[in-house]
Amino acid sequence: MEEAIREMARGITAHCQLEGGSLPIGVEKAMSAWKAVSLSNRKRAMEGEKGTDPYHAQLWALGDAIGEACWLKGHAAGVRRKAPAQGKIRVDLSVTELLQLGWLAQLGFQHMMPNYRGFEVYRFSGEEDAQEGARAIGKIEALIPAKERPVADLSLNYKNRQKLICDWWKAKPGRLTA
């Protein structure tokens, strides 16, 4: 039993060692507790006492400590892997939002060109389509750091987009021509 624990200790050392070079505290404590039980068990065996095996509880505690140490190391690595690079921002968007932003970015780019004539192939297909585009833009705007935003109050841009949508789709039927 002791040899098996020594082998486990050697194996886990390579996997769980932190950057400092030592085993996690929980694992060290569990191994110390197991060694203490092992010594007391040897003394009882030499004295001829019989009883329940105290190894089981200490092995459970050791297994729990090893599992937790491994999970924490893996979780920390996963968090580091998912984190955006220094100075970058990660954004989660649906396919619909990406499509909306792609079209809106293209339209904005064309409007910035000096030779833009204003004839567009892409238009919002309806009020819901326009609302999705407005939500996607709002998500992007909210990610811009406050000191870098061209407009301090994002609600103004949101209200302006909502007014454009409302003025077009909630207008009188005679005005709904493009």
Answer yes or no: is pLDDT of 125 > 70.
yes
Question: Would you say the pTM of this structure is higher than 0.85?
Answer: no
Choose between 116 and 151: higher pLDDT: 151
Residue type present at position 156 = L
* Exposed / middle / buried, residue 134 (Cβ in 10 Å: 0-12, 13-18, 19+): buried
**pLDDT (mean) for 146-175:** 81
Report whether pLDDT(6) > 80.
Answer: no
Q: Which residue has the higher pLDDT, 52 or 42?
A: 42
In order of 25, 79, 103, the CA distances from 68 in angstroms are 11, 16, 47
pLDDT by residue (tens digit) across 68-108? 888 888 888 888 788 887 887 788 878 888 778 877 877 77
pLDDT computed for residue 177 by the predictor:
58
133, exposed or middle or buried, with CB in 10 Å at 0-12, 13-18, 19+?
A: buried
What does the domain layout of the chain look like in residue ranges?
Answer: 2-82, 95-175
Rounded Cα distance, 76 and 99, in Å: 33
Residue whose structure tokens are 């009020």:
127
Q: How many CB atoms lie within 10 A of CB 110?
A: 14
Residue of 13 and 136 predicted with greater confidence: 136
Residues 6 or more apart whose Cβ sits within 8 Å of residue 13: 23
What was the pLDDT predicted at 116?
A: 66
Element at 27 (helix H, strand E): helix 25-47
CB 133 within 8 A of CB 105: no
HSE-CB of 109 using CA atoms within 13 angstroms: 6
Tell whether the model's pLDDT for residue 178 goes beyond 60: no
